[in-house]
Amino acid sequence: MALLNILQYPDERLHTIAQPVEEFDDKILALVADMAETMYQARGIGLAATQVNVHKQVVVMDLSEERDQLRVFINPVITHKEGDTEFEEGCLSVPGIYETVHRAERVTVEAYDEHGEKFVLEADGLLAICIQHELDHLAGKVFVEYLSSLKQNRIKTKLKKRARERM
């Protein structure tokens, strides 16, 4: 397993639309393992392949306290949304920024696991929020793009300043 580099907003590669996975092979298993290790190391609860500059429809997620309940979503599609909620979200690609985003309260998602087994999952609460957030990444959208232009520009400025300070 290897740690992968997480792209940082406003990197344009975060806007690349991910392509479906066509083969469930050792490459996908390795990608899932590397993404999980990267997510755990970064203390995240979800990671989309787009965030590590791999433009395939792969998401890993673990909302458990013990960090031992990895969920894998390959070629995920939300087939049903219901209700409305707001939640303060953060993102490994937008470090240190937390903003309230409006999302569906409940979702149904169809996807495949890393072995090519299809499943359907009904989710609510944090799991529903996380699914919507990560699937946005696969569509080339970052959560801050739900915010006003003014807030987006402030976030970009703050992140660019941080990047300069690290150099």
Give the H/E segment covering residue 158: helix 149-166
Name the catalytic one among 65, 110, 114, 134.
Answer: 134
Cβ-count burial of 55 within 10 angstroms (0-12 exposed, 13-18 middle, 19+ buried)?
Answer: middle
122 is catalytic: no
Q: pLDDT by residue (tens digit) across 71-105?
A: 999 999 999 999 999 999 999 999 999 999 999 99
Beta bridge partners of 119: 111
From first to last of its 167 residues, the chain has per-residue pLDDT tens of 799 999 999 899 999 999 999 999 999 999 999 999 999 999 999 999 999 999 999 999 999 999 999 999 999 999 999 999 999 999 999 999 999 999 999 999 999 999 999 999 999 999 999 999 999 999 999 999 999 999 999 998 988 888 888 87
Question: What letter would DSSP give residue 12?
Answer: G
Cβ-count burial of 41 within 10 angstroms (0-12 exposed, 13-18 middle, 19+ buried)?
Answer: exposed
Show the DSSP H helices in 26-145 as ranges.
26-41, 125-138
Q: pLDDT by residue (tens digit) across 43-56?
A: 999 999 999 999 99
As a whole number of angstroms, the distance between CA 141 and CA 133 comes to 9
Closest CA relative to residue 36, chosen from 19, 52, 22: 52
Q: Is 24 helix (H, G, I), strand (E, B) or coil?
A: coil
Residue with tokens 């309230």: 100
Q: What torsion do the CA atoms of 105, 139, 162, 90 make, to the nearest 10 degrees? A: 10
CATH class belonging to 12-166: alpha beta
